[in-house]
Amino acid sequence: NAGVMQNPRHLVRRRGQEARLRCSPMKGHSHVYWYRQLPEEGLKFMVYLQKENIIDESGMPKERFSAEFPKEGPSILRIQQVVRGDSAAYFCASSPVGGQVNEKLFFGSGTQLSVL
């Protein structure tokens, strides 16, 4: 019974390149959340998705960042033209049903993005 799977664990990109981070939720989960963790800081909400729908992207930067969760396959967080400030740990979490008050999130181990 695999948990939330994120890959790659570590991703190195040069400034201006694209970064693609993947997240496969737990089996049976149809809701995905992406968070960013900067060194010595807490988790900052980025985006919440259901299958084929973006529910809340209020934490996403307006430019260069996008996310999707297709009907088939993992959720993808895409960062275009990366800059050094994008270096962070990106965590994905999933839940079986979104919006329930007592619902806990299941987290992946994260992708550490380093921009050179």
Q: Which stretch binds another protein (CB under 8 A): 13-21, 55-63, 64-72, 75-83?
A: 55-63
| Interface with another protein, residue 108, by CB under 8 A | yes
Instruction: Give the SS3 label for residue 10.
Output: strand
At 84, phi and psi to the nearest 5?
-60, -30
Contact (Cβ atoms closer than 8 angstroms) between residue 44 and residue 81: no
Pairing of strands 43-50, 53-56: antiparallel
Residue span binding another protein (CB under 8 A) among the ranges 61-69, 70-78, 79-87, 104-112: 104-112
- The residue from 56, 70, 73, 116 that contacts another protein (CB under 8 A) is 56
- In the complex, what is the shortest distance from the CB of residue 50 to another protein, in angstroms, rounded to a whole number? 10
Is the dihedral angle over the CA atoms 19, 90, 96, 31 positive or is it negative?
Answer: negative
Task: List the one residue from 28, 58, 63, 84 that touches another protein (CB under 8 A).
Answer: 58
